[in-house]
Amino acid sequence: MIRMSPRSSYGTSRSFGTSRSSGGSRIIIAIVLAVFALISYLSSQDYNEVTGETQYINLTQDQEIALGLQSAPEMISEFGGISRDVNAQSLVQEVGNALVRNSVAANTNWRFSFTLLEDDTTVNAFALPGGPVFITEALYSALETEDQLAGVLGHEIGHVLARHSAARIAQSELTNGLIGAVLVAGGDSGAATAQMVGQMITMKFGRDDELQSDRLGVCIMADAGYNPEEMVRVMEILEQASGGARAPEFASTHPSPENRISQIQNMIANIDQCPGRNSQ
């Protein structure tokens, strides 16, 4: 018969207690990390006069503009450089500047610029923090009217006015803090949970940003004298360009085209709710 000595029994009990204490310490550290991330995020409030919303942003306007200017050369290079189509480039700049000059964007200090990129295979348009707006030749050539071009550029101006890039940076810092807390609390077993938390937060903000920029784009188009109905056609063109292949809305950072069209039509029907309309 093998008899367990009291010393061996004591050693087993001590190991269990140490494991439980370690788990409790991880939970406390995780709570501290999560609380710190939340406090840092919630303390960065800033009021957006265009959207009328309070946002959580940890960049000043000057920092945001500098970030956009710093990022522009790399983005231009990534999409094949600036287009050599002088006439198309001129039209992009002309329409973009008209949108800014005749909308709420005129009353802001953002440094808008509009550039047509050489890439003729990637259907894309995007805005960098602070004002630089880009559209690829692939998307430009798919558009049928100047009003549709205004719709694309107006949407991107909306991203700048709503400060979506700066807000996403702050949200990313919050997400990273919460993910870190989940990982500390759950150890290796918390990795999958942390990844899911991060993805869901990112997807929600992405969809909300796109819908808000659609609504602002409609307002900017209308204020500048372009037909906002053409924004609906832009959505149809984007759907055709994707070949109809897309992930379900709940699993995508972009809303479904059907939902975006519905939102656009609703904004057109309530155009008097556009920013600046009530003060005119």
Tens digit of each residue's pLDDT (9 = 90 or more) over 218-253: 999 999 999 999 999 999 998 888 775 555 554 556
Q: What is the pTM of this model?
A: 0.76
Q: Give one DSSP letter per residue of 108-166, joined into a string.
A: S----EEEEES-SS---EEE-TTSEEEEEHHHHHH--SHHHHHHHHHHHHHHHHTTHHH
Q: Which of 40-44, 109-113, 205-209, 270-274 has the lowest mean pLDDT?
A: 40-44
Task: Give me the pLDDT at residue 36, please.
Answer: 53
User: 5 versus 78: which is more confidently predicted?
Assistant: 78
- DSSP code at position 67: H
CA atoms within 13 A on the CB side of 6: 0
Q: Is the pLDDT of residue 150 over 80?
A: yes
Cα–Cα distance for residue pair 169/59, rounded to 1 Å: 9
pLDDT value for 241? 81
Whose tokens are 């494991």? That residue is 19
In a domain, 278, yes or no: no
Range name among 76-80, 139-143, 190-194, 261-265 with the lowest pLDDT average: 190-194
Please name the helix (run of DSSP H) or strand (run of DSSP E) that holds residue 48, with its range, or none.
strand 45-48
Output the average pLDDT for the chain.
80
> What is the DSSP-derived secondary structure letter of residue 82?
B
1 is a domain residue: no
What is the span of the domain harbouring residue 187?
42-273
Q: What is the C-alpha separation between 200 and 179, in angstroms, rounded?
A: 12
With respect to residue 107, please indicate whether it lies within any of the assigned structural domains.
Answer: yes
Q: What is the pLDDT at residue 33?
A: 55
* DSSP letter assigned to residue 181: H
Per-residue pLDDT band for 257 (boundaries 50, 70, 90) equals confident
| Distance between CA atoms of residues 119 and 136, nearest Å | 5
For residue 163, is it within any domain? yes
The rounded distance, in Å, linking the Cα atoms of 182 and 26 is: 10
Residue recorded with tokens 């998307």: 139
Q: What percent of the chain has pLDDT over 70?
A: 67
| pLDDT of 64 above 80 | yes
Contact (Cβ atoms closer than 8 angstroms) between residue 267 and residue 214: yes
Number of Cβ atoms within 10 Å of the Cβ of 88:
16
39-48 per-position pLDDT tens digit: 555 566 789 8
Summarised one tens digit per residue, pLDDT across range 264-274 is 999 999 999 89
Q: Which residue has the higher pLDDT, 58 or 203?
A: 58
- Min mean pLDDT across 8-17, 41-50, 105-114, 157-166 is at 8-17
Domain count, the chain: 1
Asked, for residue 260, whether it belongs to a domain, the answer is yes
Give, in order, the Cα–Cα distances in Å from 159 to each of 36, 168, 183.
29, 11, 33
Measure the CA dihedral 119/213/252/166, to 10°. 90
Is residue 17 included in any domain, yes or no?
Answer: no
Q: For residue 120, what are its two tokens?
A: 């003729």
Does 208 fall in a domain?
Answer: yes
3-state helix, strand, coil in the chain (%, to 5): 65, 10, 25
* pLDDT 10s digits, 178-197: 566 555 555 555 555 545 55
- What is the structure's pLDDT at 205? 52
* Tokens describing residue 184: 């500390």
Could you give the maximum distance between any two Cα atoms of the chain, in Å? 96
Cα separation, 39 vs 168, in Å, equals 17
pLDDT at 254 over 80: no
For residue 129, tell me if it sits in a domain: yes
Of the candidate ranges 55-59, 94-98, 110-114, 156-160, the one whose mean pLDDT is the lowest: 55-59
Summarised one tens digit per residue, pLDDT across range 8-44 is: 344 444 454 555 555 566 666 656 555 655 555 556 6
